[in-house]
Amino acid sequence: MTDQTQKDQYDGSRGRQLLLTIRDIAVTVALVLAAKTVAAEPYYVPSASMEPTLLIGDELVTTKYPYGYSRYSLPVAMGPASDHRLLEKLPRRGDVVVFRLPRDPDQTYVKRVIGLPGDEVQMENGRLFINGKVVPVRPDGMAEAKDSDGRVRPAARLIETLPGGVDHPIFKLAANAPLDNTPVYQVPAGHIFVMGDNRDDSADSRIPPMAGGVGYVPMENLVGRVDAVLGSWDLSLSSQPVWTWPAGLRLARFFSRVQ
C-alpha cells in the first residue's frame, strides 16, 4: 500500500467521523428543541409580582401541552399570527401561566389566570369581583414581601378562592393601593385576564399596555402552564461575596409543586 493510499484512507476515515459527529450534534439539538417545543421549558422568575406563590430566582417548569400550541410554543417564535392554537384548550381560572407580553413579545411574563373570555373582572376597595360576585378571601397571617434588591416589606397574606374552587395565596401591601379600584374589564373572545399574586406590586391586565401594563392576553401568546419549581436561589445575594452564595439556595423549594 502506497503512502498516498494510506493518506486517502485516513482522510476518508476522518471525514466519516466528522460527519457522524455533526449528525450526533444535529440529532441532540433537534431532540432538545422538540422537547422545549412540545413538552416543557424552563423559565426564571425575575420580579416579585407573583409573591408569595413564586419568588425572585425561582426556576420554573413550564408545561406546554395543556393549552395546545402556537408560534410562541417554539423556542424562537416563528410563523404567522393566528387567532387559534393547535389543539387549543382554555386555561382554568387559577392556573399560573407563562406568556409573551402582547405589547412586546420579546418579553416573557408569568401571572395567574383570573378571567376567561366573556368574564367581567373588577377591583373594588381591594376586593376582586368576577362576573359581579366578590371572590372570597380569608386571612392567613402576616409575611414579608422581598424585592430584587433584598429589601423587605410587611405584607398581609390572604387565601383567595376563585370560581371553580382554586385556593391560592395573595399578598396585600397596602389598604388603599392604586389598583384597588378599577373599572369593569370585559374579557374579549380569544383572550384571558391575568393578575399577579402580589396584588399591589404587579403590572398585569389591570393596567393597559399604553401605560406599561399587560392588558388582555391573547390565547396565542400563551407559552404554557407553570407546574413546578425546579430550583430556587435568592438573587439578592449576587452582589455579595461569592462564599455567601450557597446560603441563597432555597432547598425547600426545589421540585415543589406550584398551586
> Distances in Å between the alpha carbon of 233 and those of 112, 137, 182, 224?
22, 30, 35, 23
Measured CA to CA, the distance from residue 226 to residue 223 in angstroms comes to 10
Q: Report yes or no: 50 and 114 within 8 Å, Cβ to Cβ.
A: no
> Distances in Å between the alpha carbon of 236 and those of 150, 157, 172, 186, 232?
5, 22, 22, 38, 12
Number of Cβ within 10 Å of residue 247's Cβ equals 10
Cell triple for residue 106?
420579546
Q: What is the residue type of 145?
A: A
Q: Report yes or no: 93 and 164 within 8 Å, Cβ to Cβ.
A: yes
Place of cell 408569595: 52
Residue 51, phi-psi category: left (phi > 0), alpha (psi -120 to 50), beta (remainder): beta
Query: What is the sign, positive or negative, of the torsion defined by CA atoms of 208, 258, 135, 148?
Result: negative
Active site residues: 49, 111
Query: Which helix (H) or strand (E) is 36 found in, with range?
Result: helix 3-38
Of 217, 193, 215, which is closest to residue 72 (Cα–Cα)?
217
